[in-house]
Amino acid sequence: MAKNSYKAEDIKILEGLDAVRMRPGMYIGTTSVRGLHHILWEIVDNAIDEAANGFANKVTVTLHKDGSASVEDNGRGIPIDLHSKAGVSGVQVVFTQLHAGGKFDSDNYNYSGGLHGVGASVTNALSEWLKVEVYKNTIYQMEFRSYLDKETGKVKSGVPVAPLKDTKIKTKKKGTFVRFMPDATVFETIKFSSETILKRLKELAFLNKGLEIEFYDESLEYRQIFKFDGGLVDFVKYLNAGKSVLYQEPLYAQAEKDGIVVELAVQYTDAYVDSVYSYVNNIPTAEGGMHETGFRSGLTRILNEFARDKNILKEKDDNLLGDDFKEGLTAIISVKMQSVQFEGQTKTKLGNPEARPAVEHVTVTQLGELMKDKKRVKVFETILNKALSAAKARLAAKKAKEIARASKSIEAQNLVGKLANCSGKKPELNELFIVEGDSAGGSAKQARVRQTQAILPLRGKILNVEKKKLDQILQNEEIRTIISALGTGIASEFDISGLKYHKVIILSDADVDGSHIRILLLTFFFRYMRELITAGHVYIGMPPLYKVYKNNVEEYAYDDSQLAEKIQKVGKGYQVQRYKGLGEMNPGQLWSTTMDPSTRSLMQVTIDDAAEADRLITVLMGDEVAERKKYIFEHANFNKEDSFAKIKRS
């Protein structure tokens, strides 16, 4: 190929990367801390792919002292030979061509995150520099940089410093190492979160049985290794650690059907709700989709067959319903397939129709095999007993549903006596403050903007819903009041379109009781009104901890580091008041510190990882004392008691 055309090609490639830098949001969604992690996941996904395809069994992620991150695997190494079309090394193609992933070897390089992702070139485009090493008898190196082009005044992204170089240094290692420095001019922050990374790596280790994933934080000298030889079985056991299980070993199935690799693990507990989590190509599908539907119908079908076979269901009896098999069900479904389509509000629902029969088939045939095993018959009988009692409870639950439906009429009833409603009729503008205690509630009522702010004082603690059935929960007065105030109904009757306040703000004291009330409310929302949280309607109000004052100057501090700052600001002769509770503030102070939209500080409650949040809630709110103690001991940082729901300031 003529030299000129190679050059032209090269320029086009670089323009591609420049486009990524111009509009990062188009490629990674956001330049927030989430986007920052996204460019790390692009690299991690590629290493995991190599392992998932059977060529590597170890992946290491390191956060370096200089702020850069690196990922290493022990696989075949990114191809170093010249790529026939591009005329440059495979390494250069991977890092400079958009969507290069899978270009050379579509047979085995195409499952997993890479499919969903945008490729390593995007990470390169959004990095100040990126260095690659490939270990294949000798060490190969290549480096890319972004720099300001003085002629055009524009930034050129991800430009090769030199072609791939064979250093001729001998090595026994095999694999690929990629280290990059995120570009501080692109991202709002370039500080990676160890917590975020650890959570995801653990999940990936569960999803890829036997794969060793190591995390190392150089500055903290903190190392963590995840390796689960049981894979999804270990995942389910982990999720159920805080629950009483009905049998010890989760049921497990794995098979390929019509090109779709299906893997699942199932274990029942004595819980009342189900905890089913699904993935496609290692990506969580929070909204479920075709694979989940296939699983549920397969499970229902095969368990009914078992019940008929064993005469647990007589001829005259009706089949048990899908809902009867939900109670106490913990399951993980993981599928790997080509051409994934995501649907749904948050694009986390698997849309491919072919996934449904594939998962249903694998569920029916593999669980069907397990049933034939004499040693397992008891397990299935136990499940059936649970489902039968659920079916009985279904009638009772029907009554409960009527109560839930009546929650619409609860609204009509004047149960909301304590609620000081707002006068405005636009839910988008309206806010509901759920306030701890009658005295703070009283102040809030005086301080509020009547048109848009409603106040609901809570007396004492609310019910721990984790330990109760729906019909009992619906008898609790505080909960009925909340349901009727919100206007959405709950559980299967939940309908977000009825929501009367687009901000639901929990206002409780900054002490142990306050955080307990907060966690009880969040637990209730998580279990019975989850969409309220996922749609971003739940907030936590932040009352100040201190007032620093002198004569007629008043400054508020929300934490200890701010306190020092405010003391400086107020200067000599200052006095400090420490607020022990909301009740100590007069209406004016409560307004300006906590309620005034122009000055207050709210934290929005989000759920990044529903499976982890679910597990944490069970551990913190359930019956299993040993597991709770263990958790609290391991996380003995009491500022973090809300950590099951990730909270971000807004």
What would the x/- binding string for ligand TSJ be over residues 600 to 619, using CB under 6 A? --------------------
Query: Of the ranges 73-81, 260-268, 413-421, 597-605, which one interacts with ligand TSJ (CB under 6 A)?
Result: 73-81
- By CB under 6 A, tell whether 13 contacts ligand TSJ: no
Supply the minimum distance, in Å, between the C-beta of residue 78 and ligand TSJ.
4
For the question of residue 513 being annotated catalytic, the response is yes
- By CB under 6 A, tell whether 178 contacts ligand TSJ: yes
What would the x/- binding string for ligand TSJ be over residues 50 to 69, using CB under 6 A? x-------------------
DSSP symbol at 318: P
Supply the minimum distance, in Å, between the C-beta of residue 161 and ligand TSJ.
16
Supply the minimum distance, in Å, between the C-beta of residue 132 and ligand TSJ.
7
- By CB under 6 A, tell whether 47 contacts ligand TSJ: yes
For the question of residue 45 being annotated catalytic, the response is no
Residue positions counted in the chain: 650
Q: Which is nearer to ligand TSJ, 75 or 622 (CB)?
A: 75
Q: 141 CB contacts (<8 Å, ≥6 apart)?
A: 131, 132, 133, 164, 165, 167
Return the residues of window 539-568 that contact ligand TSJ according to CB under 6 A: none
Q: Which is nearer to ligand TSJ, 157 or 348 (CB)?
A: 157
* Contact between 19 and 99 (Cβ < 8 Å): no
- By CB under 6 A, tell whether 43 contacts ligand TSJ: yes
Q: In this chain, which of 18, 20, 28, 46 binds ligand TSJ, going by CB under 6 A?
A: 46
Count of CA atoms in the C-beta half-sphere (13 A) of 60: 15
Q: Which is nearer to ligand TSJ, 59 or 390 (CB)?
A: 59
Q: 597 CB contacts (<8 Å, ≥6 apart)?
A: none
Write the DSSP string, 488-544: S--GGG--GGG-S-SEEEEE--SSHHHHHHHHHHHHHHHHH-HHHHHTT-EEEE---
The H or E element spanning position 561 is: helix 560-570
Write the DSSP string, 432-476: EEEEESHHHHHHHHHHS-TTTEEEEEE-SPPP-GGGS-HHHHTT-
Q: In this chain, which of 28, 39, 61, 71 binds ligand TSJ, going by CB under 6 A?
A: 71
CA atoms of 258 and 440, how far apart (whole Å): 61
Q: In this chain, which of 16, 75, 298, 441 binds ligand TSJ, going by CB under 6 A?
A: 75
For the question of residue 107 being annotated catalytic, the response is no
Pull the structure tokens for residue 611: 């499976």
Query: Of the ranges 41-49, 139-147, 469-477, 503-511, which one interacts with ligand TSJ (CB under 6 A)?
Result: 41-49
The count of other CB atoms within 10 Å of the CB of residue 461 is 12
DSSP symbol at 623: S
Query: Of the ranges 74-82, 213-221, 319-327, 552-560, which one interacts with ligand TSJ (CB under 6 A)?
Result: 74-82
| Placement of tokens 């009925």 in the chain | 480
Q: Which is nearer to ligand TSJ, 142 or 616 (CB)?
A: 142
For the question of residue 436 being annotated catalytic, the response is yes
Return the residues of window 261-300 that contact ligand TSJ according to CB under 6 A: none
What phi, psi does 401 have (nearest 5°)? -65, -40
Total site size for ligand TSJ, rule CB under 6 A? 18
| 70, 76, 78, 81 alpha-carbon torsion, rounded to 10° | 150
| Placement of tokens 């170890």 in the chain | 58
Supply the minimum distance, in Å, between the C-beta of residue 278 and ligand TSJ.
25
Supply the minimum distance, in Å, between the C-beta of residue 94 and ligand TSJ.
5
Q: Which is nearer to ligand TSJ, 216 or 574 (CB)?
A: 216
* Helix 355-372 with 377-412: angle, nearest 10 deg: 130
What would the x/- binding string for ligand TSJ be over residues 90 to 129, using CB under 6 A? ----x---------xx---x----------x---------
Of these residues, 15, 317, 511, 596, which one is catalytic? 511
Of these residues, 133, 327, 431, 436, which one is catalytic? 436
* Contact between 372 and 306 (Cβ < 8 Å): no
The H or E element spanning position 120 is: helix 120-125
| Placement of tokens 């950590």 in the chain | 643
- Amino acid code (one letter) for 110: N
Supply the minimum distance, in Å, between the C-beta of residue 187 and ligand TSJ.
19
Catalytic residues: 436, 509, 511, 513
**Binding region for ligand TSJ (CB under 6 A):** 43, 46-47, 50, 71-73, 75-76, 78-79, 94, 104-105, 109, 120, 176, 178
